[in-house]
Amino acid sequence: MDSPRGTKRSGQRTGQSDITRCPECGSRSVVEDVGRGERVCRGCGLVLSDHRIDMGAEWRAFSAEENEARSRVGAPLRYTVHDKGLSTVIDWRDKDTAGRKLSPTRRSEIYRLRKWQIRSRVHSSVDRNLAQAMAELERLSSQLGIPKPIRELAAVLYRKSIMKKLVRGRSIEAMVAATLYAACRIRQKPRPLDEVADASRVDRKKLGQCYRLLLRSLDIKIPLSDPIDYVSRFACQLSLSSPVQLRTVEILKRSRDLGLTIGRDPLGLAAAAIYVASIMLDERRTQREIAEVARVTEVTVRNRYKEIVRRLGIDSLDMPREVGGM
DNA sequence: AAGACGAAAGTGGTTGA
DNA sequence: TCAACAACTTTCGTCTT
C-alpha cells in the first residue's frame, strides 16, 4: 500500500489483466514484473496493478525430472472413482515412515484408525453404493467402448441422482446403464438403447424407465437424437467407405428438410439412408445386414427407404421400380 | 437360395379425456 | 385409468435375381 514505487499510481488498479496498452501514455510497453508482483508501463512508469499473486510454484526446477519430483499435486480429479481418488489410505504395515516398528500402544491405535477409516470410507451407504456403481460403470463402458470423458459425465450424473435419492428402490445396474446412455446422448454419441441394455443385465424396459426418470428429475436437456450421429458407427460396422457416409449424411439432411424425420425412429432412418447410399455408390449391403447393425427390422428399413426414395425423387438407375400411388 | 417386397396382426409407448 | 393412436415388429407368402 505504502509502496513508493510507481509515483504516478492513479485510480486505475484495473482488475482486468489483459490490458497491453498503457491507458496513460498509450504505449504498448506494459510489462509484467513478476519479481515485484506489478504490471508497469515501461514508457511512462505508471503502475497498472500491484500486489499481484504469483500463481506459479514457489520452488524452481531445472529439469523435467526435478519438476516431476517437486510437484505436490497428483492426477486430476476422477469422478469415476467413487471417492474421486482423494481419500487417504492408512497403510496396512505396522511401521512408521522411517520403517521402524510401532510401539504396541501405537499399533493398536493405528489398528483402530484403520478400522474406522475403512468403515467411514466404503461403508457409509452412499459410498458403498457409489463404489459398486462405479465398478459397474467401468465394466459396462469398457464393454461398450465408451471413451473416458463420457464415462466421467455418466459418473457425474450418477452422483447427482444419488443426491436426489433416485437410486433408492431401483437397481444400481439399471441406474448406471441409464446414466451412461444419457451421457452418450448428451455428448452426441448415442448408442442404441438395446445395445446398452444388452451389455448390462438390465432389460430394455427398466432402462428406459430409469432414463426417463433421470431426464425428469435432473431436468437435463438432451438434444433429440439425430440419425446422423449413428451414421459413422454403422457405416464402420458395415465397412462402408467414407463417400457412402457422406452421401448418407446428405440424404438424411435432405430428408429432414422435407420433414420426413419427425416422429421416426432415428435408428431406422439412419439404416434406410445408409441402404440408399450404399446402392447409389455401388457398395450394396442387404437390408438384412443393415437392419442388424441398426437393431431395427428389415421392414422398417424398407418402409423408411421407400419414403426417402419417393420423397427425394431418387428413382434413378438400379433402384427397384416404384409405384406412383400412395 | 438369398434377397426384396408387402399385407396383416401384434406390441409397447404416448396422449388426451 | 383407459382408449385411441402412430410407429415399429413379427410373421408369412410371393416375387425377383
Distance A205 CA to B9 C1' (A): 23
Q: Which residues 285-304 on A are within 7 A of strand C at the CB atom?
A: 295-300, 303-304
Mean pLDDT to the nearest integer, A206-212: 85
Give me the pLDDT at residue A9, please.
40
What's the CA–C1' distance between A29 and C6, in Å?
Answer: 70
**Choice between A88 and A198, residue whose per-residue pLDDT is larger:** A198
Provide the pLDDT confidence category of residue A325 given band limits of 50, 70 and 90: very low
- C-alpha cell of A23? 491507458
Nearest-CA residue to the C1' of B3? A286
pLDDT of A322 reads 37
**Dihedral of CA A277/A258/A308/A230: which sign?**
positive
Lowest mean pLDDT among A14-28, A162-176, A235-249: A14-28
Per-residue pLDDT tens digits for A269-316: 999 999 999 999 999 999 999 999 999 999 999 999 998 888 887 754
Task: Name the nt closest to A318 by C-alpha to C1'.
Answer: C17
* Helix H or strand E encompassing A141: helix A125-144
Q: Calculate mean pLDDT across residues A7-35.
A: 61
- Span CA (A260) to C1' (C15), Å: 29
Cβ A200 to strand C below 7 Å: no
Query: Which of the nucleotides lies closest to A291 (Cα–C1')?
Result: C9
Residue A15 vs residue A301, higher pLDDT: A301
- Separation of alpha carbons A162 and A82, rounded Å: 12
Q: Which nucleotide lies at the shortest CA–C1' distance from A289?
A: B3
Average pLDDT, chain A: 80
Q: How confident is the model at residue A40 (pLDDT cuts 50, 70, 90)?
A: confident
Lowest mean pLDDT among A21-30, A145-154, A276-285: A21-30
Domains of chain A: 1-73 (2.20.25.10), 125-218 (1.10.472.10), 228-312 (1.10.472.10)
> Contact at 8 Å (CB) between A77 and A84?
yes
For residues A278 and A244, the answer to whether their CB atoms sit within 8 Å is yes
Q: What is the pLDDT of residue A243?
A: 94
- CA to C1' distance (Å), from A169 to C9: 32
Nearest nucleotide to the CA of A264, by C1', is: C7
pLDDT recorded at residue A283:
92
C-alpha to C-alpha distance for A304 and A291, rounded to whole angstroms: 12
Give me the residues near strand B, CB below 7 A.
Answer: A 204-205, 208, 212, 284, 286-288, 298-299, 302, 305-306, 320, 323
pLDDT in tens, A95-140: 777 777 878 888 888 888 777 776 665 556 788 888 889 999 999 9
Distance A132 CA to C15 C1' (A): 56
Taking 70 as the threshold, does the pLDDT of residue A321 lie above it?
no
Query: How large is the average pLDDT for residues A240-249?
Result: 94
Give the residue-averaged pLDDT of A156-174: 85
Closest C1' nucleotide to A320's CA: B4
Nucleotides of C under 7 A from a protein CB: 6-11
Which nucleotide is the nearest neighbour of A204, by CA and C1'? B12
- Answer yes or no: is pLDDT of A248 > 90: yes
Instruction: Tell me what pLDDT residue A234 has.
Output: 92
- Residue at minimal CA–C1' distance from C16? A320
Given this model, what pLDDT does residue A273 score?
93
Beta carbons of A285 and A293 less than 8 angstroms apart: no
Q: What is the pLDDT of residues A45-78, one digit of tens each?
A: 888 777 777 777 777 777 777 777 777 777 777 8
Strand B bases near protein CB (under 7 Å) are 2-8, 12-14
Q: In whole angstroms, give the CA distance from residue A226 to residue A244.
A: 18
Q: What is the pTM of this model?
A: 0.65
